[in-house]
Amino acid sequence: EDQVTQSPEALRLQEGESSSLNCSYTVSGLRGLFWYRQDPGKGPEFLFTLYSAGEEKEKERLKATLTKKESFLHITAPKPEDSATYLCAVQAVSNTGKLIFGQGTTLQVKP
Amino acid sequence: NAGVTQTPKFRVLKTGQSMTLLCAQDMNHEYMYWYRQDPGMGLRLIHYSVGEGTTAKGEVPDGYNVSRLKKQNFLLGLESAAPSQTSVYFCASTPTSAILEEQYFGPGTRLTVT
């Protein structure tokens, strides 16, 4: 069964304190892994798509990496505006068009 | 472009009542989805559609029905609401799955069933 697990569930950082969020996945064949950001009371907003192990993508203070079993979202020198819930999702080769989401990591960055 | 819009934004129902949630997109996307989001459980797929006139079951379809009569609209129906259907509902769309595309999400509908 395809499955996505994110850790930790919640993370509190001080402004400028770098850290990483983890997304572990089990899928029969990975077509792509997605990272989304979700602010309170809003719908998820797309951040990155990763396709193959070894791939990395960056956007401002965020960098996403992918291995054969997990993905990391690295946050460098975070700011309070980075506070949000970060969602990871996978699309399997056998289920094109459908995403399987993890439960999310809620990040709080204090000034 | 408005992107993906959802109507209504909030709704309170009594057990046994029915309602329809409307999702509309103006991006000419082929694929549309309905998810529910509950605390600690992430997003779970209810039903989806790969094109006008087609629908398919997702992970948690029981108690819901959908229709895609027009390409730009995807309706989610609750025939007899239950407290377990209290949740935040999100609609999403994507151009096609032939190539890997991000899903565009609406702002959500918060539904409470008492």
CB A81 within 8 A of CB A13: no
Quick one: DSSP state of residue A42?
Answer: S
Considering CB atoms only, which of B4, B42, B50 is closest to A102?
A: B42
Q: Output B32 or A94, whichever has higher pLDDT.
A: B32
Q: pLDDT tens across A64-90, in order?
A: 999 999 999 999 999 999 999 999 999
Neighbours of B5 (CB within 10 A): 14
CA distance B38 to chain A (A): 9
**Do the chains contact at B45 and A9, CB–CB below 8 Å?**
no
Is B95 part of the contact surface with chain A (CB cutoff 8 Å)?
no
Considering CB atoms only, which of B43, B100, B108 is closest to A91?
A: B100
Rounded Cα–Cα distance for residues A5 and A88 (Å)? 8
Q: pLDDT tens across B69-110, in order?
A: 999 999 999 999 999 999 999 999 998 765 567 889 999 999
**Three-class SS state of B13:** strand
Cβ neighbors of B62 (< 8 A, separation 6 or more) are: none
Q: pLDDT tens across B33-67, in order?
A: 999 999 888 899 999 999 999 999 999 999 999 99
